[in-house]
Amino acid sequence: NAGVTQTPKFQVLKTGQSMTLQCAQDMNHNSMYWYRQDPGMGLRLIYYSASEGTTDKGEVPNGYNVSRLNKREFSLRLESAAPSQTSVYFCASDAETEAFFGQGTRLTVV
Amino acid sequence: DQQVKQNSPSLSVQEGRISILNCDYTNSMFDYFLWYKKYPAEGPTFLISISSIKDKNEDGRFTVFLNKSAKHLSLHIVPSQPGDSAVYFCAASGLGGGADGLTFGKGTHLIIQP
């Protein structure tokens, strides 16, 4: 049972480089989310998608873009990475009353 | 401005004793509350939840209490076991779950001592 799968698990980028974090869920959930976790900050919502074809900004959307490719997949793109985007990124999908999280992507921007 | 607050960054409890983790919230629109457990290098995993129409929910060793008038909830773990050592996040949402995501506290690192 895969649940929520994120790739890659680790990534190091240079400032200004771009990359896309991939997320897929196999639980047929409508809602999907991207969070970032920073030391002492808890998890903060970057973007969410309530259903296929819709996306909305969360608490900290600056510097990111998202694509809800289909019901299963929700990707997060950094167009020009900055050191402030060094963080652990978590994708999640929602079953209305419980969110299921992926294993996380640890991103370092140097 | 934090809407969900966990004021204890860490908590140390002896094995077999009760662990009590606290959480306060400020947004009156929150009507559903959850606790997540997180081990290092893993994603958060759901532990237990409570709707605002209840004041207690129990699942095995875990009980969540909600005091709406005080905007306070707590997670009780009894008896505490070594495997309970983890970071615990309190989270809240509006409209019975809400498709617009959860608001998380900063977490409490629970350490169970043998």
So what's the pLDDT on residue A1? 62
**Closest Cα in chain B to A97:** B97
What digits encode the pLDDT tens for the residues A54-93?
999 999 999 999 999 899 999 999 999 999 999 999 999 9
For residue B100, give how far its alpha carbon lies from the nearest alpha carbon of chain A (Å). Answer: 7
Among residues A72, A100, A102, A74, the alpha carbon closest in space to that of A89 is found at A102
Per-residue pLDDT of chain B (114 residues; tens, 9 = 90+): 789 999 999 999 999 999 999 999 999 999 999 999 999 999 999 999 999 999 999 999 999 999 999 999 999 999 999 999 999 999 998 865 556 788 999 999 999 999
Contact flag A40-B43 (C-beta cutoff 8 Å): no
Q: Any residues with CB less than 8 A from the CB of B26 and at least 6 apart, and which?
A: B1, B2, B3, B4, B5, B71
Contacts of B32 in chain A (CB under 8 A): 97
Residue B96: closest C-alpha in chain A: A97
pLDDT digits (tens, 9 = 90+) for A5-32: 999 999 999 999 999 999 999 999 999 9
Instruction: Enumerate chain B positions whose Cβ falls within 8 A of a Cβ in A.
Output: 4, 6, 9, 32, 34, 36, 41-46, 49, 89, 91, 96-97, 99-107
- Could you report the per-residue pLDDT of A92-110, keeping only the tens digit for each? 998 777 889 999 999 999 9
User: How far apart, in whole angstroms, are the C-alpha atoms of residue B91 and residue B108?
Assistant: 12
The token duo for B12 is: 């140390």
B104, β-bridge pairs: B91
pLDDT of residue A34 exceeding 80:
yes
Interface test with B, best of A25, A43, A46, A91 (most B CBs within 10 A): A43
